[in-house]
Amino acid sequence: MNSLGINKPKKDIKVVVAMSGGVDSSVVAALMQREGYNVTGITLKLYDDSKQSKEGRQCCAGQDIMDAKRVAEKININHEILYYQKKFKTEVIDSFIDSYAAGETPIPCVQCNQTVKFRDLFKYAKNLRADALVTGHYVSRFQINGQASMYRAKDHNRDQSYFLFSTTQDQLNYLRFPLGEIEKNETRLIAKKLNLNVAEKPDSQDICFVPNGDYSSVIKKFRPESFKKGKIIDLNGNQIGEHQGIINYTIGQRKGIKISSENPLYVININAEENTVIVGKKENLEIKKIQLRDLNILSPKNEFEKTVNVKVRSTGRLLKSKIYFRNETTAEVEILEKETGISPGQACVFYSKDEVGDKVLGGGWIHKTFNNNLST
């Protein structure tokens, strides 16, 4: 059996590689070509990059498209560009703005993977009669009992399974992730050995459509009403200050509140309907229970009968938890360890440890959080 686990001669296996123009996807494309597969690289143009930051590193912009094209030419593979700006605006940017305006803290990278990258690119690859869609994500995939399962990457510092929790089983069966079992520094070494022009290219840092991380400028452009002034109140409902728009705040934030207090104040909750920001002490941020919506489950329900681990932010630790399903699309999570600053709009991803590693069981979007003081 070949490296992709497809029972055909390599020369007859057609693969589509999603090429962002970065070092990871470029190395994946080169490896697939060197192994003898029939490779087509596809790059997505997702947004108008005319005002792209010169300092920040972002993906799917004009320079990245040119970098992907150069790599494709060097390794002698077919390369296509798909223009998905309208899809991206509707599915990702508008959703990002809606979420912030509702007092949430969104993660558009998950929605980008969920929609234009995996749903739409998946469909396009299928229409090309490709045998697999291959990406440069750091996540591991193992075929167990005839079904693909997703695991955290070997390099936990680079693991991207949190961002891929919404991948469906059909998509997972079709996807391949060659970098899941190698370290990031190995990827760069491979790029240097292959003399790829992106070997030293910095990783993307900012959200691609948010220049220099300035979220407010994007929201102000589309939703200026989100900058309406309102009250900053304490946990007893007393006004102690005034804000210049709820989009300037996220749960757990300390800096920028601009209210003198004996103890440091943190954003505990954001009430979009009343246009208020609720602040309190750090201990008021501790969350014991969260409510999830829009679940995506990748494992049988009996795997949730025991204690599982969850991740509630991309850079967070694994937390021991109990999952209680309410129906097919919603659940409550009881967090058994101390954790603070969990925000609606983020994802909660389920993991279970087995003999292979940390298996992704699925996940959902955080809809509400509960602590001893209030619920969001």
Indicate which residue of 60, 109, 208, 348 is catalytic. 208
Residues 374, 96, 109, CA angle at the centre, nearest 5°? 105
Please confirm, yes or no, whether 348 is among the known catalytic residues. no
Distances (CA, A) of 167 to 118, 131, 139, 150, 360: 8, 18, 12, 9, 10
Dihedral sign (CA 264, 317, 163, 211): positive
Of 59, 60, 109, 112, the active-site residue reads: 112
For residues 153 and 139, the answer to whether their CB atoms sit within 8 Å is yes
Q: How many CB atoms lie within 10 A of CB 129?
A: 7
112 is catalytic: yes
Q: Are 36 and 11 a contacting pair, CB within 8 Å?
A: yes
Contact 207, 99 (CB under 8 A): no
Cβ count near 324 (within 10 Å): 11
Query: Based on C-alpha coordinates, what's the Rg of the chain?
Result: 22
Please tell me the number of Cα atoms within 13 Å of 45 on its side-chain side. Answer: 13
Show which residues are catalytic: 112, 208
